[in-house]
Every structure is written in C-alpha cells, then in structure tokens.
Amino acid sequence: MWHRQSAKIVVSVAILLLIPVVVGMGLRGTAKERVPATLKGGETALADVVSERSLLVIPDETTPTPIFSIPPSPTREPTPTGAQPSSTPPRASSPTPLPTLDPAALGLPIGNRISNPPPGAIVSGELKIKGVAAGSDFARWRLDLLLNGNEQLVVFLDDSENPREEEGTFERIDTALFPDGTHVLRLRVFHKDGTFEEYRRPVTFANGNTSFVLRGGYVIEGQASESGAEATPEAQPGEETPTPAQPAVVGNGITEPVDGARVSGVIRVKGRADAPNFARWQLELLLYGDEAQRVLLAEGEKPRSKEGTFKKIDTTVFPDGTHVLRLRVVYTDANYEEYRVRIVVDNRELLASVPNQNGITSPSDGAVLQGVVKVEGVAFDPNFKKWQLDLLLYGDPNQAIFLDRSSRPRRIPEVLTTVDTTQYPDGTHALRLRVVRTDGNYDEYTVRVIFQNGGSQQ
C-alpha cells in the first residue's frame, strides 16, 4: 500500500514539472529561423530561436542597432549615386605605394654637383659656374679654384648659406683674370656637423694670358696676392708686372675699410687672420651693431698670414646706416680673438643715379639682337627671395625657356646672364624677369626682342 502511494506521488510531481515545458512548446511551435543577436561591443551574430508566429519586439534604446541581418524578405536601402552596395562591413584600405623611380636608370643627374662647365671644357671670357648644393643637414657651400689643380694655390670664388636645391648659378667669373691652363673647380657642401662633401671639375682657361698673375682682386689664400690686382690692368703685354708694396701687418684684424669709413657700392674687406693654434676665421656684418642681426659674409679654414682680401661685398643689398664688420680668429680649443670695424653704408647718391625700379635695363624693348648678348637688369625688394629670367618664344608664356636665376639681389643694373641668340629661331620673342618675394608672390617685367641671325622662323 505504501509503495502504491509513493508511486502516485512521484508521477504527480513529474507531471507538474513537465507542464511548463509542454505549454511553452505548444505556444512557440517548432519552426526555426535565424535572427540577429547582439553581442558584447555592439557586434551581431545569428542565433537559432524557436517561433511559430511573429513576436512583437519593443526596441531597447540601450541596445545598438545591428550592423546587418538576414530577414526572410530583405529590404535594400537606397544606394547613393556613385556608391556600391556591400553585404560586408567596410574595411580600411591600405594606400597603394607609389612606384620608386631610379634617377640613375633614367639618366637623370643625382645630388650635389658642378654641372657647368662640362668635363674637359675649354673656355674663354665669362664662365657661368652652375650646380646643386643642398641636403637635409645642409649648412653652407663654398666654391674655389685650384690653379693648375694645386692644393696650395687656392683662389676663393664664393660661398653661401643658401642652398641650391635646384640647378642654379654659383658664380660668374671672367676667366681672362686668371692665367691660362687647366685648373680645377672645387665645390664643398658642408653639413651641420662640420663635415663636407667635395666635388671637382677640371676646366681649361684659354685667353692668351701666359703670365701667372691674378687680376680683378682675386687672391691666392695665404699669400699677399693683391699683387697685380690693381697693377696688372696697366701692364702692357710682355712686360713684367710690378708687385705693389704691402703695408706691414703686425697683428690680426681688419685693415680695410678703416674704422668709421663711409662706403657705397662694392667694397673689399681686407685683413689678417693667423695664430699658432689657428682653426678658422669668420667675417660677419652686424646690422646697426646688433648681435641679433648678424650676417655671415665669409669664413675660411686657411690662415691669412699676410694681408689679403677676405670678401668683396655689395653694400647696396644692406640698408643705409652705421653697421659693424666683425672678424673672429678661432683657435683649435674653440677660443677666439675678435676685431670690429664700424662702417657707414650710404648708397643714396649711387642709387639716385640709377633706375630705382626693377626690370630689364638692357636690351631695350624692341631691340634687334644677333649673336651673344648680355641681359642686364635690376632685381630688388625689401622681402627679396630670388629673381628668375626666362625667354618666351614668340612671347608665349607656354613656351618659356629658363635662362638663369639667383638669390642675390641686384639693386643697380648688373649683368643677369648672357644669351646666345643663335640657339633660338629668328623672330619676335620676349625676355621675362620675375622678382620673387619671401611670401611666394612676385613682380614680372618683360621686354620684346627680335632675334635676327638669318636662321629659320619656326
């Protein structure tokens, strides 16, 4: 009897436990469909749920909207013009790398260099020395001429702290001021750490100048080679050029100009720089004597044991007023001597006698040209950056041919470049001068010129 009652109790409990399950199955049915389920982080996945009828779902504002779903009857959203529908979430695309070009393989010039004159050139008269001098750690460049290729016969030509990132003119020289022979142009590009790259280009001067005399104020570093600088022009061919007497120099310093001198135009700064533990010399201009407005004029690593020219400077590129020339002779232990000379720059009279406007001063508008001609002009601005000269074939800006550029202003009419008109077709063309300011804007000046060499007009 007790066993029968126990069995009934067990069956009753089992029935009670199964009722909710049976009821739930009866309500939900047995059909399955896949609906999106929200995961952590807002992502979605497809989950199997059991349903027989549509269920009313009340949106939960805290639940992110699924990125995509696969309902029984999908409805596409309108696709914006130009866009492509996608069934997958967008992914960030990696940029396609640009092809790497090998300049050497294309025959293009690479890096710093002397590009003109070409190797083995034989030249006479004016020589335009061109090239590139730049780099990420660029400090300055310096150009020298080694007479006969001799390291002991170095003639300083020019230097600058302004890089030449594109091929441009370093310096123009009159080769007739040097003795004939095969010499070497040497370009040094200095890095910020004091090291430098060196580039050389042999060139032969052929002007019929057989005497080993320098003219035009050029000097051999470390020698009193002002020798012939003024005396040579008066010397007759075949005569021996006398060497002017040099003043006795008892110490380092600037000997010319003298303290308080009033100067204008182009001047030579002379002096002496030497010491038993000599490392280098440096010449600067302090505008209005202000240390914060110093301009590097020149520097050298070879001593000047006798009086010589440190640098020729064009005072017209500086404002009128009282400034200070400062020479420092630096020792190997980094100590230095310092020498100062006050100069009064006054170019009012000089500039009053020349055109005060930028432009091409020669040739004149409408000039008929033949052969090689010089182009002169004025290019200056308080915010000057550079000037550039182009030839516009038939006056067409779309047929512009680059002639020359420089970062040195021209406040008085000077030769900008020379043009061989025989290299271009006869006809009416235009010379265009642009004076570019530091903000990138520029002024433009043009003159019409007629090339007439008996050639064809294309």
Q: Is the pLDDT of residue 213 over 60?
A: yes
Predicted confidence at residue 186, as pLDDT, reads 93
What CATH number does residue 173 fall under?
2.60.40.10
Which residue would you say has higher pLDDT here, 50 or 145?
145
Are 208 and 280 within one domain? Answer: no
Rounded to whole angstroms, how far apart are CA atoms 375 and 413? 10
Predicted confidence at residue 181, as pLDDT, reads 86
Q: Poorest-confidence range of 182-191, 247-256, 306-315, 447-456?
A: 247-256
Q: Is residue 456 part of a domain?
A: no
For residue 384, what are the domain limits? 355-451
Q: Is residue 70 part of a domain?
A: no
Q: Is residue 156 part of a domain?
A: yes
Task: Please give the helix or strand (H or E) that residue 12 lies within, else none.
Answer: helix 2-28
Q: Is the pLDDT of residue 374 over 60?
A: yes
> Mean of the pLDDT values across residues 25-30?
44
Q: Is residue 98 part of a domain?
A: no
Are 220 and 122 within one domain? Answer: yes
Rounded to whole angstroms, how far apart are CA atoms 311 and 283? 8
Are 297 and 277 within one domain? Answer: yes
> Mean of the pLDDT values across residues 263-272?
90
Name residue 214's amino acid. L
Are 282 and 374 within one domain? Answer: no
Are 29 and 130 within one domain? Answer: no
Q: Is residue 21 part of a domain?
A: yes
Are 169 and 269 within one domain? Answer: no
> Mean of the pLDDT values across residues 304-319?
86
Predicted confidence at residue 27, as pLDDT, reads 42
Rounded to whole angstroms, how far apart are CA atoms 151 and 394? 48
167 near 132, Cβ under 8 Å? yes
Question: In the chain, how many domains are there?
Answer: 4
pLDDT band at residue 408 using 50, 70 and 90 as cut-offs: confident
Are 118 and 226 within one domain? Answer: yes
Q: Poorest-confidence range of 85-99, 251-265, 373-387?
A: 85-99
The label of the residue with tokens 């095969």 reads 182
Are 325 and 375 within one domain? Answer: no
What would the pLDDT profile of 220-242 be if each residue is shown by its tens digit?
Answer: 765 533 333 333 333 333 433 33
225 class by beta-carbon count within 10 Å (0-12 exposed, 13-18 middle, 19+ buried): buried
Beta-strand relationship, 44-50 and 32-38: antiparallel
Are 362 and 343 within one domain? Answer: no
Q: Is residue 191 part of a domain?
A: yes
Q: Is residue 108 part of a domain?
A: no
Mean pLDDT taken over the chain:
74
> Mean of the pLDDT values across residues 127-147?
90
Residues 6+ apart with CB under 8 A from 212: 147, 179
Q: Is residue 107 part of a domain?
A: no
